[in-house]
Amino acid sequence: MDAAIIGPMAESARYVGVVGPSDASDGELAVAEAVGQRLGGAGWIVVCGGLGGVMAAACRGAQAAGGMTVGLLPGMSRAAGNPHLTVSLPTGLGEMRNGLLVRASDALVAVGGSWGTLSEIALALRTGRPVIGLGTWGVDTGDRAAPAVIPVSDVDDVVVAVRSALALPEPDGG
């Protein structure tokens, strides 16, 4: 990709993190791929942990839609990234990259759930990032006034929910 294209695109684009288990079920993988396709089709950059499972499936979907993907890898090798990454960024941070992923994203979409997914959801909610959830963890805030995961039941609702959470206008013609 030409740097002249990436610069302006990166400045104005929305970055949407997709999180979920690396050891995902076939159903979660199918949902993640469809989510990635919808996000990439909306022109948003998909950010993930860069490895397999939900991360690779979302990137595969975004790539199929012509979208850009960024993987924040836990180790120091770009080669460890999944084959559907536009940009592989080795961080050397291990699971601590979860905080970096949250901070690099305007919103998160959580598909399924693992302990890493739960930590990403908690960090996102704590830092004011909206979290859209498809079959993921619920967060009971008790009596505290706190943001919650925005549940959706269908991948077709993900883009609408992200657009609403970020107060983005509808695209032309839509």
| Fold of the domain spanning 15-163 | Rossmann fold (3.40.50)
Domain ranges of the chain: 15-163
pLDDT tens for each residue of 75-118? 999 999 999 999 999 999 999 999 999 999 999 999 999 999 99
Strand extents, DSSP E, 14-168 = 15-19, 45-48, 69-73, 87-90, 107-111, 131-134, 150-151
Per-residue pLDDT of the chain (174 residues; tens, 9 = 90+): 444 555 555 567 899 999 999 999 999 999 999 999 999 999 999 999 999 999 999 999 999 999 999 999 999 999 999 999 999 999 999 999 999 999 999 999 999 999 999 999 999 999 999 999 999 998 877 777 778 899 999 999 999 999 999 999 988 755
Comparing CA positions, the residue from 76, 84, 98, 78 lying closest to residue 55 is 84
| Six token digits for residue 64 | 């199929």
**Residue 106 Cα distances to 16, 25, 79, 91, 129, angstroms:** 6, 27, 26, 20, 6
Q: Virtual CA dihedral for 110, 111, 113, 116, nearest 10 degrees?
A: -50
How far apart are the C-alpha atoms of 65 and 166, rounded to whole Å? Answer: 22
pLDDT of residue 8: 53
Comparing CA positions, the residue from 115, 114, 119 lying closest to residue 131 is 119
| Six token digits for residue 173 | 């013609």
DSSP code at position 83: T
Q: Virtual CA dihedral for 80, 50, 122, 31, nearest 10 degrees?
A: -130
Give exposure, 69-98, as e/b (b: 16+ Cβ within 10 Å). bbbbbbbeeeeebbebbbbbbbbebeeebb
Residue count (the chain): 174
How far apart are the C-alpha atoms of 122 and 126, rounded to whole Å? Answer: 6
